[in-house]
Amino acid sequence: MPNFSPDNFKLHKRLEEDSVLITELDLCLVLLINDANYPWTILVPKRATSTDIYKLEQKDQIQLLQESNSLSNAMESAFKPDKLNVAAIGNVVPQLHVHHIARYKTDIAWPSPVWGFAKAMPYDSAELERTISLLCNALHA
């Protein structure tokens, strides 16, 4: 994956390993976690040292909020979930990343949060292509 400027930002190795790049917004990368158990995306601000939303500069916070809105609406439109879970945890990977997870009352972890619940189930190539396409179209609608 390329080294995204500005600010010498480089995606954390663990996030890179676990995900596929969907698109790049003004502030954030949009990544899809390679886990077919749930449509699960993350926003990663392209800021080299960011760890927490409240530590970002104010203009970046507002931009992150707008991009989170866009992604949330796109996920609702693309995946019709029963609930969207939005979270900045970061206990394992310190680089700021904001989870957006489409949840269903029928999914494997419901109603628990997804972290640590089930082993990731990688997409097969057709399902991955379909999921990326759905999300991209919704993001750019």
DSSP lists the bridge partners of residue 24 as 29
Tell me the two tokens of residue 117.
Answer: 């619940």
| Residues near its own copies (CB under 8 A), total | 28
Tell me the two tokens of residue 101.
Answer: 């997870």
- Our finding on whether 34 is near its own copies (CB under 8 A) is no
Nearer to its own copies, 115 or 127 (CB): 115
Residue 49 Cβ, how far from its own copies at the closest point, in Å? 15
Question: Which segment (3-11, 24-32, 33-41, 50-58) binds its own copies by CB under 8 A?
Answer: 50-58
Task: Give Cα separations from 113 to 48, 62, 120 (angstroms).
Answer: 28, 26, 14
- Our finding on whether 77 is near its own copies (CB under 8 A) is no
Residue 128 Cβ, how far from its own copies at the closest point, in Å? 25
Nearer to its own copies, 69 or 137 (CB): 69
Nearer to its own copies, 53 or 134 (CB): 53
- Angle at which helix 125-139 crosses helix 58-79, to 10 degrees, equals 120
Rg of the chain on CA atoms, in Å: 14
